[in-house]
A = this chain, B = another copy of it.
Amino acid sequence: MKVMFFFAIFSLFLVASHTKEVASQDTKACIECHEMVSPGIVSDFKASKHYKSGLVGCAECHSGKDRPDSFSHNGFRIHTVVSPTDCAKCHVSEVIQYKNNIMSHAYGNLTHNDLFKTFMKAVNYFEGRPLTEEDSCLSCHGTKLEVRGTKKRDTVLGVMEFVALEGWPNTGVGRINPDGSKGSCSACHARHSFSLRVARSPETCSRCHKGPDVPAYKIYSVSKHGILYGSQKEKWNLESKPWIIGKDYNAPTCATCHIAEVSVNGEIIAKRTHTMSDRLSHRLFGIPYATAYPKSPETYKVKNKEGLPILSELTGEPVAEYLIDKEEQARRTKTMKSICSVCHTTSFVERHFLRVDEAIVTTNDIIRESTKLLTLSWNKGGANIKDGIFNELIERLWIEQWLFYGNSIRLASAMGGTDYGVFDGGRWSLSSTLEKMKEWLRILFFLTNSQKTAN
């Protein structure tokens, strides 16, 4: 009798604790079905703080006010795409901050910039092929999700109708959501576990920052910071809140310097921010020159003297009106230096930043030399500017000068990843490609002159 009574109480307790864990009856219904049809999503979600809080569930994020992509699904009105608008229900400051982050404008900054649209075509060879663009540039920049009617599908529960979404799936940082909001929190807070550990791990950033255009992850990996992460991370606490360097972990990940709250003995020296430019004085991966950071995250609106949508003239002169001023640069640098100072002395930090300045100057100088060669080529018939500036070989060599090597050298300097500034897409590549441009131009001119002579 006693035993039965115990079991009854115990069962009640189980039910109670279970009910407590599920945010709502709607969410409970979601889970019941989806545990059968997509158990990986549900198990991932059940590992999340959202689930464990008992406050956030499927229905809390995947339903709400009607929007273009809402549809009826088993008696519920839901949307597939969770947008920053959904996250803002709880994380309002993060969403507001992220709106000012250049990343949230990555779609428009690419597709509304005439120069970059031409570049996309040069990269992909084809244009006007959405599936190619989604799979290429827009994979990181974000797609534009648009409702294209509905589609019926045969499911385990019979035929069901779903909204058909152009551009889906995508977790690009500047995704245009059906509700008009920009960005995908899931880009860094992956899938349904929303793990702090994942967001704080440099691997997360590697998805879009590993290639030769922005080799930040590779550079981090061989920096002292990355080495300490790689060799010790099993011993670190990457999930604590607050997340205190020296206590929970002993070398920064990407998140530490660019996003996380950094405090010293309880005093906050850098506020947590999802506007990463708050700590960035320069736009290092320069297009084509490194400049001060742009004032507005909507860089496609920039116009230089020639009317080109880039932050500098082709001579390298920055287009000052669109850029933050020296005072603002100093403020941001001060924040970043204060983060360095948690583990490094002032003399260490000061000269480190001098070297970064030097890398900006020298890479800009060599790129300026390269631009002169390209201009010469255009002017003297070596290459054709009229058919676009990104297709011919000498134009492509020029592109690699800034898109690959200049960027790599500056980032390697800023993050202490030596080799990427020297032999692995670094200074060796920059000086070699300049020489290659020179010699190639000699041949182009020879061919052009021979043709003229022949005519």
Chain A interface (Cβ < 8 Å from any Cβ of B): 35-44, 47, 80, 122-126, 129, 131-132, 134-137, 139-140, 151, 153, 155, 162, 164-165, 168-169, 171, 190-191, 193, 195, 197-198, 201, 203-204, 206-208, 210-213, 221-224, 226-228, 230-234, 238, 245-247, 250-251, 264-265, 341-348, 351-352, 354-355, 358-359, 362, 365-366, 391-393, 396, 403-404, 413, 418-424, 426-428, 430-432, 434-436, 439, 442-443, 446-447, 450
How many angstroms between the C-alpha atoms of A41 and B224 in the bound complex? 14
Least CB separation from A122: chain B residue: B431
How many angstroms between the C-alpha atoms of A125 and B430 in the bound complex? 9
Q: Are B347 and A432 in contact (CB under 8 A)?
A: no
In the complex, the 10 A-B pairs of residues with the closest C-beta atoms, listed nearest first: A40-B343, A43-B246, A201-B231, A211-B419, A203-B230, A131-B358, A139-B418, A40-B342, A211-B423, A211-B424
Distance of A169 from chain B, by nearest CB (Å): 4
Q: Which of A193, A355, A391 has the most CB of B within 10 A?
A: A355
Q: Are A246 and B125 in contact (CB under 8 A)?
A: no
Q: Are B447 and A208 in contact (CB under 8 A)?
A: no
Q: Are A343 and B41 in contact (CB under 8 A)?
A: yes
Q: Are A44 and B246 in contact (CB under 8 A)?
A: yes
Q: Are B125 and A164 in contact (CB under 8 A)?
A: no
Q: Are A222 and B206 in contact (CB under 8 A)?
A: yes
Q: Which of A41, A204, A211, A424 has the most CB of B within 10 A?
A: A211
How many angstroms between the C-alpha atoms of A245 and B447 in the bound complex? 61
Copies in the complex: 3
Least CB separation from A247: chain B residue: B43
Q: Are A362 and B162 in contact (CB under 8 A)?
A: no
Contact of A442 among B212, B227, B447 (CB under 8 A): B447
A-B contact pairs, 18 of them (CB 8 A): A36-B264, A36-B265, A38-B344, A44-B246, A124-B362, A124-B431, A168-B347, A190-B228, A198-B227, A198-B232, A203-B226, A203-B231, A211-B424, A212-B423, A234-B234, A393-B432, A403-B423, A446-B447
Q: Are A169 and B352 in contact (CB under 8 A)?
A: yes
Q: Are A123 and B431 in contact (CB under 8 A)?
A: yes
Q: Are A343 and B38 in contact (CB under 8 A)?
A: yes
How many angstroms between the C-alpha atoms of A251 and B418 in the bound complex? 28
Q: Are A250 and B43 in contact (CB under 8 A)?
A: yes
How many angstroms between the C-alpha atoms of A428 and B393 in the bound complex? 12
Apart from A44-B246, A125-B434, what are 13 other A-B pairs with CB-CB below 8 Å?
A38-B342, A39-B264, A43-B245, A122-B431, A124-B427, A125-B431, A132-B362, A136-B426, A140-B418, A168-B348, A169-B347, A191-B251, A393-B436
Q: Are A153 and B346 in contact (CB under 8 A)?
A: yes
- Residues of B near A165 (CB, < 8 A) are 347
Least CB separation from A42: chain B residue: B246
Distance of A189 from chain B, by nearest CB (Å): 12
How many angstroms between the C-alpha atoms of A287 and B424 in the bound complex? 18
Q: Are A362 and B125 in contact (CB under 8 A)?
A: yes
Contact of A132 among B123, B124, B358 (CB under 8 A): B358
Contact of A348 among B137, B169, B251 (CB under 8 A): B169
Least CB separation from A346: chain B residue: B153
- Residues of B near A125 (CB, < 8 A) are 362, 366, 427, 430-431, 434
- Residues of B near A137 (CB, < 8 A) are 422
Decide: A413 near B135, CB < 8 A? Known: A80-B345, A450-B446. yes
How many angstroms between the C-alpha atoms of A191 and B190 in the bound complex? 32
Q: Are A351 and B169 in contact (CB under 8 A)?
A: yes
Q: Are B123 and A428 in contact (CB under 8 A)?
A: yes
